[in-house]
Amino acid sequence: MSRLNEANTILAKEIIARYPKARSATIPLLHLSQQQNGYVTEEAMAHVAELVGATPAEVQGTATFYEMFKFRPVGKYLVNICGTMSCQLMGSEALLHHAEEVLGVKPGGTTADGMFTLEHAECQAACTEAPNMQVNYRHCHRMTNEAFDQLIADLREGKRDADIPAHGTLARIRQQIPAEKAVGPVSPDDPARPVWTPAPEVK
Amino acid sequence: MSDEINVTVNGVPHVARKGQLVIEAAADAGEYIPRFCYHERMSSVGKCRMCLVECDTGRGPAVTVSCMATVAPDMKIDTQSPTVKRMQEGVLELLLANHPLDCPVCDKGGECPLQDQAFSHGPGESRFVEEKRHFEKPIPISDLVFLDRERCILCDRCTRFADEVAGDPLIHFTSRGNSTHIATFPDEPFASYFSGNTVQICPVGALTAKPYRFKARPWDLQQEESTCTTCSVGCRVVVQSSRDEVLRYMGVDSEPVNHGWLCDRGRFSFEATKSAERVLQPLVREGDALAPAAWNVALAEAARLIGEAKAAAGAGSIAVLGGARGTNEDAFAWARLAHEVIGTTNVYAQMGDGLPVGLLGLDRATIDDAANAATVVLLSPDIKEELPVLYLRLRAAAEQRRTKIIELTPKRTGMTPYAWRHVGYQPGTQVAAVDGLLADADVAAQLATGPVVVVAGRANLAESTATTVQALRRLLDAVPGATVLPAFRRGNVVGALQVGMRPGKGGLDTRGTLQAAADGKIECLVLVGSDPLADFPDHSLATRALAGARRIIAVDTFLSASAAKADVVLAASAFAEKAGTHTNLEGRVTSLARKVTPAGVNRADWMIAAELALELGSDLGYGTVEDITADIAAKVDGYAAATPAAIAADSDGVLTAVPGAIDPMNHVEAVIGERNAYDFRLVVSRVLYDQAEGTAHSPSLAHLARGSAVHLHPLDLDRVTSTAGARVKVSTASASVVFTAVADDSVLRGTAWVPFNQPGPNVGELIDCFAAVTDVRIENV
């Protein structure tokens, strides 16, 4: 279950074919694996390494650089409460404490039912809407304790499924590149242009 | 157009080269800029910021990272301005914020760039009072290397080395920001053949090697520059010792040879020198046992056995095998003893696992020639396994797009990922493979683009040399002007062969000698550091030969399987216990240093030869090693320039000329039968870690030998047995051996590969050294 499943392996190969070098697909494939399992497993990193022709250590090194890749199971909803200045001034600390009480976990923790993981985040670029928080990276502006309680209740009841998919889902509509437009491996020695590069106009 | 660029370094005019880095230009001008991440053999990354200087190109002084910026015309480089000084202090204060101050218990303390530069360029005190970051430490990242992440300053040297130089990116920066650290993937250790180099280039004590941890303090070490004799690449090293015990090798940056790198086998096999299992005194057979004897007794006994043999059946009944383990001086003294004093022509330094000595008479390429050639053709074994640093040089040439590599091998090798063309051939079909290759228009065009170097060696021990020689001839005829880099493997085999450890007129080579011994025609067999039972591919013949030789004299450092059968064992001194010279595969003669006292009462091979000659009534006339070195320069064809003074004067040594005395190889026809479709054609070759004395007696390396197993292509394995790891019987007409079967997609279909000289069942029992190829039947048991 932890490696990419068959459908995703096929998708992975299609994604790889979009790039002149297979290892350029490392991050898209890590997203794919996170979408499959909710987090990036060791087996998935090893599988991605096989697919892109890197070592697992390189894939791990790249993956761990990014905050949005998780390496431990997280809840269906990842709740990030901003703690940077504007939000801090507008009461995000109180909001975080409220969230801890409501969910019964400290930042970094996941509720026993596996629904919510609470995190303390740095600036989410919504300072005008402070205090801001995100659920699975979807913004929730000008949060109050009451709005938070309502949001959690809605999420538990599945009322927000339409706009907040489960953690790991990056895009629900995948880009499709027709096979003849896929680039495939390109040797660095090959002077030919990738097919998607428009030819220079001749006057 | 001139590529000179005028700059000033701290106000002093200096002429730099176009494209040169500021840090290098300053070094040329005599200004050492402190640095941690910059390493002249790797690409610049500008990570540590220690090399900040001020450069003024006419727009006022600007802070510049000197390892990233190249010189510009009229650049004023200031390495000592108050701004630079303040920046250096700031960088060091930040680096030391998290670096533990455990120098008194750190192996690097005393030779640590961070310690030294904190002293010379640091602020003197820190304002940091918070808790430093903590990690579990030290953690083993491989069998040989430990990592202390608290000491690490994230300079990217080890990871860059692993990626750029070794091609094994198994360690990588992990996580980000303040939690960045070096890590391997879980359960995938940094099992690179070159991992020891990361310890040498680590600018702090973060990486330490198991054999040296807590063994010495750098200021107690004494060192001598020498040459590694583990394989025939001849990497320059310094041998470091304390209290008369070898503790460490460090690679020396030799431009024509190793660029400062060493393989782990070379770096750590010094442990064998101080092994408790060394032979520490001469031994003489008394009944079934070997009993300690004084030198005069043992030498007299050896002389008596030689005299007896000569009296019984003439000098032709005496054979001398070996000499590749020692120095040129050892080999020359033994060659003179054999040829002149004993009078035999049956002398050979190779153990039936190389190519004919005639290879040395061909137009020779140097390692540099190969690394700068337009095309390198590998008609050789896996050089990553057998000649690791040559692999690094050729890999770099391919990666830097200087050289295209065409590989002809019976299985995929460590070089295959970097090869421009890889041709896998069934053993015995090399000639067809070469013909097919030459018929390819792309290949023909590539071969015509510039210098071509052929690396020629023995790729398969279960096959005669005839086809390889024929294929090499075909290649050299088709590519006029191509030069040959002989991939002889054993330490000083090239030197031994050149100075005379080769058959005289009508003399027998090793195979001939062993056959004669097995037939009872050898009265006295002298083994000079050679172990036919372990190294001669045809184990059955070696066993019969050692049983059939009436008397055996062994000169060895260990009581090897063959030496244990001897009537007299003369205890020889090992590497680092004797001085002399060494000739590498390109014919480069470099110095070997004596750093420690020989174990026990052991003597250098040349002394033993000289003493034995005296016992036999002749005086070789040698009092010191230099006498012999000078004698070699005077007498050996091609060695005229290799005088003691010339070798001592240049760390890179002296390149010898191609000797005219060695006839180029003759054309030999080989008859190869058709392969039965049910049989597998056997490929046997060496891997880096095997049961060679230097590896088996080095505790850190001994357990790295992978063990004997038969490797089959996964689809072939399915034909033979349903499960990997099953026991299978591998049989020829005359012998059968049971191995574990392993799926290995580097093996060609229809062939079976077995690593040679590994713990476990002996593949040598299947090899017939008179057969052109070895076909085997593999059955499930």
Chain B residues closer than 8 Å to A67 by CB: 176
CA distance A59 to chain B (A): 9
Contact (CB, 8 A) for B69 and B55: yes
Q: Which of residues 150-169 of B touch A (CB under 8 A)?
A: 168-169
Cβ distance of B183 and A189 shorter than 8 Å: no
CA distance B169 to chain A (A): 7
Q: Chain B residue closest to A62 (CA)?
A: B174
pLDDT class of A5 with cuts at 50, 70, 90: very high
Partners of residue B729 on adjacent β-strands: B738, B779
By percentage, how much of chain B surpasses pLDDT 70? Answer: 99
Poorest-confidence range of B14-18, B124-128, B515-519? B124-128
Cβ distance of B169 and A45 shorter than 8 Å: no
Tokens linked to A108:
């970094």
Question: How many residues are there in chain B?
Answer: 781
Q: How far, in Å, CA of B36 to CA of B440, rounded?
A: 48
Chain A residues closer than 8 Å to B173 by CB: 61, 65
Cβ distance of A57 and B173 shorter than 8 Å: no
Tokens linked to B360:
């040395």
Residue B178 forms contact with A (CB below 8 Å) = no
Residue B170 forms contact with A (CB below 8 Å) = yes
CA distance B36 to chain A (A): 22
Residue A192, pLDDT > 70, answer no
Chain A residues closer than 8 Å to B401 by CB: 189
For residues B380-402, average pLDDT: 95
Poorest-confidence range of A174-178, B634-638, B732-736? A174-178
Residue B183 forms contact with A (CB below 8 Å) = yes
Residues forming CATH 3.40.30.10 domain(s) in chain A? 77-157
Sketch the domain layout of chain B as residue ranges: 4-80, 290-344+508-655, 357-486, 680-780
For residues B748-765, average pLDDT: 95
Q: How far, in Å, CA of B589 to CA of B582, rounded?
A: 5
Residue B398 forms contact with A (CB below 8 Å) = no
Q: How far, in Å, CA of B249 to CA of B200, rounded?
A: 9
Residue B416, pLDDT > 80, answer yes
Residue A177, pLDDT > 80, answer no
Which of A56, A65, A189 is facing B185, going by the closest CB pair? Answer: A56
Tokens linked to B650:
């240049």
CA distance A58 to chain B (A): 6
CA B746 from chain centre, in angstroms, equals 23
Q: How buried is B240 (Cβ within 10 angstroms: 0-12 exposed, 13-18 middle, 19+ buried)?
A: buried
Chain B residues closer than 8 Å to A64 by CB: 174-176
pLDDT at position A2 is: 85
DSSP string, B214-240: TT--GGG-EEEEEE--SBTT--EEEEE
Residue B501, pLDDT > 80, answer yes
How much of chain B is in helix, strand and coil states, percent to nearest 5? 30, 20, 45
- Across the A/B interface, how many CB contacts are shorter than 8 Å? 41
Render pLDDT for B579-605 as a digit per residue (tens, 0 to 9).
999 999 999 999 999 999 999 999 999
Q: How far, in Å, CA of B755 to CA of B763, rounded?
A: 8
Residue B337, pLDDT > 70, answer yes
Q: Chain A residue closest to B404 (CA)?
A: A189
Residues forming CATH 1.10.10.1590 domain(s) in chain A? 6-71
pLDDT class of A184 with cuts at 50, 70, 90: low
pLDDT class of B721 with cuts at 50, 70, 90: confident
For residues B731-753, average pLDDT: 93
Residue B727, pLDDT > 80, answer yes
Residue B288, pLDDT > 70, answer yes
Which of B168, B172, B176 is facing A60, going by the closest CB pair? Answer: B172
Chain B residues closer than 8 Å to A57 by CB: 169-172, 183-185, 188
Chain A residues closer than 8 Å to B171 by CB: 57
pLDDT at position A165 is: 87
Q: Chain A residue closest to B399 (CA)?
A: A188
For residues B617-645, average pLDDT: 95
Q: Chain B residue closest to A188 (CA)?
A: B401
Cβ distance of A54 and B169 shorter than 8 Å: yes
pLDDT at position A202 is: 63
Residue reference for tokens 């094994």: B168
> Which of A65, A66, A190 should we substitute to test contact with B (largest number of B Cβ atoms within 10 Å)?
A65
Contact (CB, 8 A) for B470 and B281: no
Q: Where are the beta strands (DSSP E) in B328-441?
A: 347-348, 375-379, 404-409, 421-424
Render pLDDT for B475-490 as a digit per residue (tens, 0 to 9).
999 999 999 999 998 9
Residue B667, pLDDT > 60, answer no
Residue B1, pLDDT > 60, answer no
Question: How confident is the prediction for chain A on average, in pLDDT?
Answer: 88
For residues B17-31, average pLDDT: 95
For residues B236-262, average pLDDT: 95
Contacts 24+ apart (CB under 8 A), B648-651: B648/B591, B651/B225, B651/B236, B651/B252, B651/B254, B651/B590
CA distance A67 to chain B (A): 9
**Does CATH number 2.60.40.3080 belong to domain B4-80?**
no
Q: Chain A residue closest to B160 (CA)?
A: A58
Cβ distance of B185 and A46 shorter than 8 Å: yes
> Which of B159, B161, B164, B174 should we substitute to test contact with A (largest number of A Cβ atoms within 10 Å)?
B174
Render pLDDT for B158-200 as a digit per residue (tens, 0 to 9).
999 999 999 999 999 999 998 999 999 998 999 999 999 999 9
Render pLDDT for B61-101 as a digit per residue (tens, 0 to 9).
999 999 999 999 999 999 999 999 999 999 999 999 999 99
Angle between the N-to-C axes of helices A6-16 and A26-37, in degrees from 0 to 180, rounded to the nearest 10: 160
Contact (CB, 8 A) for B51 and B34: yes
Cβ distance of A45 and B185 shorter than 8 Å: yes
Cβ distance of A60 and B175 shorter than 8 Å: no
CATH assignment, A6-71: 1.10.10.1590
Cβ distance of A65 and B185 shorter than 8 Å: no
pLDDT at position A167 is: 87
**Does CATH number 3.40.50.740 belong to domain B290-344+508-655?**
yes
Chain B residues closer than 8 Å to A61 by CB: 172-174, 183
Q: What are phi and psi of B353, to 5 degrees?
A: -120, 15
Chain A residues closer than 8 Å to B176 by CB: 64-67
Q: Chain A residue closest to B167 (CA)?
A: A55
Residue A52, pLDDT > 70, answer yes
Predicted structure pTM score: 0.93
Residue B666, pLDDT > 90, answer no
Render pLDDT for B95-125 as a digit per residue (tens, 0 to 9).
999 999 999 999 999 999 999 999 999 998 8
Residue B185 forms contact with A (CB below 8 Å) = yes
Chain A residues closer than 8 Å to B170 by CB: 55, 57
Question: How many residues are there in chain A?
Answer: 203
Tokens linked to A4:
């990419």
User: Taking the C-alpha atoms of A78, A81, A82 and A88 in order, what is their torsion angle to the nearest 10 degrees?
Assistant: -170
Chain A residues closer than 8 Å to B183 by CB: 57, 60-61
pLDDT class of A196 with cuts at 50, 70, 90: low
Q: In A, what residues contact B, Cβ < 8 A?
A: 42, 45-46, 54-61, 64-67, 189
Question: How confident is the prediction for chain B on average, in pLDDT?
Answer: 94
The complex's ipTM works out to 0.90
The matching CATH number, chosen from 3.40.50.150, 3.40.30.10, 2.70.70.10, 3.30.2010.10, for A77-157 is 3.40.30.10
CATH assignment, B680-780: 2.40.40.20
Residue A84, pLDDT > 90, answer yes
- Look at B670 and B732; give whichever has higher pLDDT: B732
DSSP string, B71-117: P-TT-EEESSSHHHHHHHHHHHHHHHHHS---GGG-TTTTS-HHHHH
CATH assignment, B357-486: 3.40.228.10
Chain B residues closer than 8 Å to A65 by CB: 173, 175-176
Query: Which amino acid does the sequence have at B680?
Result: F
Residue B127 forms contact with A (CB below 8 Å) = no
pLDDT at position B726 is: 87
Q: How far, in Å, CA of A129 to CA of A143, rounded?
A: 9
Cβ distance of B169 and A189 shorter than 8 Å: no
pLDDT at position A199 is: 56
Cβ distance of B172 and A57 shorter than 8 Å: yes
Q: How far, in Å, CA of B631 to CA of B36, rounded?
A: 47
